[in-house]
Amino acid sequence: MSLVEKAVKRVLDLGASESEAYLQSEKILWIEFDEKIECFKVIESGGIGLRAALDKKIAMYSTSVTDDNSVNEAAEKVVKIAKIAPEDPEWRNFNMNFGKSSAEGYYDKSIENIEYGEVVEKVKLALEKVKEYNAKPVRGLLTISITKTIIANCYSEEFERIETLVSAVVRAKIEDGQYKSIGSEHLETRFWSRMDLEDIASNAAKNAIKFLKAKPIESCRIPVIIRNDVFASILSTILSGPITADWVQKGRSPLSGKLETRIACDKFTLIDNGILYGGIRTRPFDDEGHPTQKTYVIKEGVLEKYLYDTYTSIKDRVKSTGNALRGGYWQHPQVAPSNLILEQGDSSPEEMIKETQMGLLVEDVIGDSGYLILLVEMLMQQ
């Protein structure tokens, strides 16, 4: 019997009516750099989170120590907490629909055998690339991670998945007399072979050059074109909460009560794709063990569906969309998008720019949804 299965059984033996165990281990290669590599370390962490239900009383307890004795102690504590927890009248049960979707492209086996020397060489070449533009690398971070997750509950045997993620950000600074500018570029991918650090470094330097002599513009009413990845970030910030059933049920979403109604133009189609090949949150099952899927949230401007986990789906008497997400083994699952995709329109960026006599091209933003600084280019067509 595996550790998670033992944990599930132990919680039940101690008097819980339901139990769940979520085991996670992670290995991260972490490299910080500016003009040279400042930090190179390997971080290994992990732990197990237990949830117990005692009728309608729900509790959670976690530990970073995963030997049998520690897990037994965690089981005892989570049951004790459940006994004194307030009842949740909406509670029904943990996930009873374990399964795996057809998701692919969330694991790169080559990362398991990656050579540290190869990684260091890639970083050094990236730093040299920044200097080719007479710019100075001022901050950079590269992380390469492998995460293993095992989940089981009283309704199913354990499910396991292994994911990889490579993330990089480079910032470059350029000075020309009294003018100073900083440019940045970033990339997240599941695959080491797709991490082109030199290209990221080049774009960071180019962005610094582009805004070297940036200046404010006068107030005006003109068309605005937002670069696709920038708009994706803005859209995710704006909609990630409101499209979840959790926000809707708590009365926090402005989209409450608007299913099957038009909320956008007919060219606006938003999909949450949990099985997107290579997606950053692509996985075969969510953090409750429910299979992931592709969900049309907004289709041709009409709000089609909210995103659900087990708890919120039971409350609305619908099927879960497989959108339970945990920030770590120590957290309860919450409803969150996987990979939000805005379907492309019928015009390319180049065509839109060409058709704009005068306007703004938003290249980047700084800050969160409450405070955004737009880095823009003025479009002047002669």
What is the per-residue pLDDT across 217-237, written as a single tens digit (0 to 9) for each?
888 888 888 888 888 888 888
Output helix, strand, coil percentages for the chain, rounded to the nearest 5: 25, 35, 40
What is the per-residue pLDDT across 138-158, written as a single tens digit (0 to 9) for each?
999 999 999 999 999 999 999
- Note whether 12 and 154 are within 8 A (CB): yes
101: left (phi over 0), alpha (psi -120 to 50) or beta: beta
Of the two residues 213 and 72, the one the predictor is more confident about is 72
Which residues, in sequence order, are bridge partners of residue 173?
136, 182
How many C-beta atoms surround the C-beta of residue 122 within 10 A?
17
Beta strands in 224-357 (DSSP E): 224-226, 270-273, 294-299, 302-303, 324-325, 334-335, 340-342
d(CA 218, CA 56): 60
pLDDT of residue 211: 83
Q: Which of 191-200, 271-280, 345-354 has the lowest mean pLDDT?
A: 345-354
- Residues 86-99 have a mean pLDDT of 97
Residues of the chain with CATH 3.30.2290.10: 3-210
> What pLDDT band is residue 367 in, cutting at 50, 70 and 90?
low
Which residues, in sequence order, are bridge partners of residue 23?
48, 150
pLDDT at 321 over 60: yes
What is the DSSP code (8-state) at residue 255? T
Which residues, in sequence order, are bridge partners of residue 160?
150
Please enumerate in sequence order all residues whose Cβ is within 8 A of that of 177, keeping only pairs 6 or more positions apart, or say none. Answer: none
Q: Which of 85-99, 170-184, 368-382 has the lowest mean pLDDT?
A: 368-382
| Proportion of the chain above pLDDT 70, given as a percent | 96
pLDDT of residue 216: 82
How many C-beta atoms surround the C-beta of residue 188 within 10 A?
13
Tokens found for residue 91: 């509670």
What is the per-residue pLDDT across 22-42, written as a single tens digit (0 to 9) for each?
999 999 999 999 999 999 999
Q: Across the chain, what does the average pLDDT equal?
A: 93
pLDDT at 377 over 50: no
In single-letter form, the type of residue at position 361 comes to L
Q: What are the start-end ranges of the H helices in 175-305?
A: 197-210, 228-239, 245-249
pTM, two decimal places: 0.90
Phi, psi dihedrals of residue 55, rounded to the nearest 5°: 60, -110
How many C-beta atoms surround the C-beta of residue 292 within 10 A?
29
Which residues, in sequence order, are bridge partners of residue 174?
181
Please give the CATH superfamily to which domain 3-210 belongs.
PmbA/TldD superfamily (3.30.2290.10)
- Note whether 47 and 24 are within 8 A (CB): yes
pLDDT of residue 359: 87
pLDDT of residue 194: 97
Distances (CA, A) of 213 to 131, 184, 258: 19, 16, 46
pLDDT of residue 374: 45
